[in-house]
Homo-oligomer: A and B are copies of this chain.
Amino acid sequence: MTNPTARPGGRTARIRAQVLDAVRAELAEHGYDSLTVDTVAARAGVHRTTVYRRWGDVGGLLADVYDAAGDDDWEPPDTGSLHGDLAALNEEIQAAMVMRPPIMEALIAASFRSEAAADAQRRLWEDRYVRCEVIVERAIGRAEIPPGTGARRLLVTATAPVYHHLVLLRAPLDPALPADAARTAVLAAVAGAFTEGS
């Protein structure tokens, strides 16, 4: 084990990285329509049989792109205030959405075509919302918002307008939106909008 590149796991991981890079690049450049196991294998420089055996089909490839995206040590922002955390989170979301090449946009579009991709996207977002719950716990700890504030509902309220604006309304980038949507969610939380039975 002195040479880490000789580990079987190393080769497998390297092939996975090459293949998933190829999926992202193909998606961003040509969209879902031209995404096939063969174009991905060719771009990755990997034998097509390897791709078929490991990922099965395009849905399997897309699902693994999502799974790889969730397999990180991402932590939500920790700025010292609820508004700061939510605004920073929304800035991250907005930056990912307008990134070029448009990988996130292409992945969302693909999720309307493939059940496997839709399931994987749902799992990734679920994981992200769970990781963000600490933002709300810290705010309760600082007595910024009432105890019992529901983290999930607060987080969806803060982030949904950013997705809605860019993904569904396809409106021009609004630089004020991340902070505005964060502030709206904070004011609603302070007013008790997310406490059970209130």
Give A contacts to B, CB under 8 Å. 108-109, 112-113, 118, 121-122, 125-126, 153, 156-157, 159-161, 163-165, 167-171, 180-181, 183-185, 187-188, 190-194
Contacts and interface: CB of A to CB of B under 8 A. Distances in A.
A187 B118 CA distance: 33
Given A112-B109, A160-B161, A187 B180 contact: no
Contact of A183 (B121, B126, B180, B193): B193
Copies of this chain assembled into the complex = 2
A161 B169 contact: no
Those 8 A-B pairs whose CB atoms lie nearest each other, nearest first:
A160-B164, A160-B160, A109-B112, A187-B191, A188-B188, A184-B193, A160-B161, A187-B193
A98 B170 CA distance: 22
B180 A188 contact: no
A122 B160 contact: no
A197 to B, nearest CB: 12
Contacts of A118: 170
Contacts of A184: 153, 157, 188, 193-194
Given A109-B113, A126-B169, 19 more contacts: A109-B112, A121-B170, A122-B170, A125-B168, A153-B180, A156-B161, A156-B164, A156-B165, A157-B181, A159-B164, A160-B160, A160-B161, A160-B163, A160-B164, A167-B168, A184-B193, A187-B187, A187-B192, A188-B193
Nearest to A164: B160
A113 B32 CA distance: 9
Given A188-B184, A188-B187, A157 B161 contact: yes
A157 B156 contact: no
A138 B87 CA distance: 31
